[in-house]
Amino acid sequence: MPVISDPYAFNEDDLYVDLKSVFGHGHELFLKCEGFNFAGSIKLKAAVEMVEAAERDGTLGPDSILVESSSGNLGVALSMIAASKGYEFLCVTDSRCNLSTRLMMEALGSQVHVIAGQEANGGFLGARLDYVRALCASDTRYVWLSQYTNPSNWKAHYRTTAPEIAKSFPQLDVLFIGAGTTGTLMGCARFFREWHRPVRIIALDSVGSVAFGGPPGRRMIPGLGMSMRPPLLDEAYVDEVIRVEEVDTIRACHRLARHGFLFGGSTGTVVSGAMNWLEQHHTPGLTAVALAPDLGERYLDTVYQANWLEDLYGDELFSAPAEPAEDPSGGV
């Protein structure tokens, strides 16, 4: 019986969903569920690693005020850790952050600043980062962990997520990982580059993200994608990139929900791209794993809300079969 004193001490790390019954096609895909902890997402791992590293090197002290730019999940994880450890925390987000996520951060005692405008070249993210930099320059008490550049972000997954997958799937062939800050992607990719057998690392990105190049476009589902090249990204560790349209993200989410699995938008992107890749490659006996960063409760007013979907994507969204559509992909 687990008994804990700190909320970040619990994280279910060995739960997988076999998606064959949901998507059929005879392709096996095991979905690693990362949302079963008190922060509700995989971001708990990076948050713990970054905070503890800052404490060890003396950057973070008793009078410090944590500040971070986040579209949601890291903000919740840091809110939980800050409440447990007695720090103040300010999350800088933007209008795409789900309402329930903002309310969770505030319930945990954090302040939330919502950026309304966009920076000319960096979009919402650029405006968020400008605000954080100005805040840190105005008061030395502010400590910015900077998930976009902090090596502890990817080290958390090198140390935890990747070894967890390796233990459960010693014959792993393909790993599908969504790309945001690319902390999860880089940590897992570095681990499996050193492993005893080759593993194909496939990154899933949103159409409209410029993380791997290409033109910027509208992105309304938080979690994956970037309006700048991620500083942590090293494309030498990535075998292939698949870009997924948001409509296919939503269709995958709803297909999962109709089978009783309520996942977040990032998971819809990863699953849609992964199932499409498996359908195209027809490789019998392939062992494939995908990462589900969070669950779906925080997306009830967006991905699972009919009026929100119709306003943004029109009433044709579910007129086609709710299968992952053909997604543009290319090697890196």
Rounded to the nearest angstrom, the gap between the alpha carbon of residue 175 and the centroid of all alpha carbons in its chain is 15
Of 175, 174, 185, 165, residue with least CA distance to 225 = 185
User: How far apart are alpha carbons 291 and 177 in whole angstroms?
Assistant: 6
Of 211, 191, 203, 299, residue with least CA distance to 250 = 299
| Per-residue model confidence (pLDDT) at position 332 | 41
For the chain, what percent of residues have pLDDT higher than 90? 80
User: What tokens does 3 get?
Assistant: 């008994």
Rg of the chain taking only CA atoms, in angstroms: 19
| Per-residue model confidence (pLDDT) at position 299 | 93
Taking each continuous run of H as one helix and of E as one strand, the counts in the chain are 11, 11
| Non-local CB neighbours of 57 within 8 Å, separated by 6+ positions | none
CB of 119 closer than 8 Å to CB of 130:
yes
Q: How far apart are the first and last CA of the chain?
A: 46
Long-range CB contact pairs, 85-93, < 8 A, 24+: 85/51, 86/62, 87/60, 88/64, 89/65, 90/65, 90/66, 90/135, 90/142, 91/67, 92/67, 92/68, 92/128, 92/131, 92/132, 92/135, 93/69, 93/128
Q: Tell me: the pLDDT tens digits for 176-232?
A: 999 999 999 999 999 999 999 999 999 999 999 999 998 999 888 887 889 899 999
User: How far apart are alpha carbons 142 and 97 in whole angstroms?
Assistant: 22
pTM of the entire predicted model: 0.92
| Per-residue model confidence (pLDDT) at position 324 | 44
SS3 30: strand
User: How far apart are alpha carbons 153 and 315 in whole angstroms?
Assistant: 39
For the chain, what percent of residues have pLDDT higher than 70? 93
Q: Tell me: the pLDDT tens digits for 135-180?
A: 999 999 999 999 999 999 999 999 999 999 999 999 999 999 999 9
| Per-residue model confidence (pLDDT) at position 118 | 62
SS3 86: coil
**Neighbour count for residue 166 (Cβ, 10 Å):** 19
Long-range CB contact pairs, 209-214, < 8 A, 24+: 209/179, 209/243, 211/179, 211/182, 212/179, 212/241, 212/243, 212/332, 214/243
- Which stretches of the chain score pLDDT less than 70? 25-26, 117-122, 319-332
User: How far apart are alpha carbons 75 and 63 in whole angstroms?
Assistant: 20
Identify the bridge partners of residue 31 per DSSP, sorted by sequence position: 17, 290
| Per-residue model confidence (pLDDT) at position 278 | 94
| Per-residue model confidence (pLDDT) at position 330 | 44
Of 291, 93, 264, 270, residue with least CA distance to 187 = 291
| Per-residue model confidence (pLDDT) at position 41 | 97
User: How far apart are alpha carbons 255 and 257 in whole angstroms?
Assistant: 5
Q: Which helix (H) or strand (E) holds 7?
A: none
Q: Is the dihedral of CA 280, 253, 33, 227 positive or negative?
A: positive
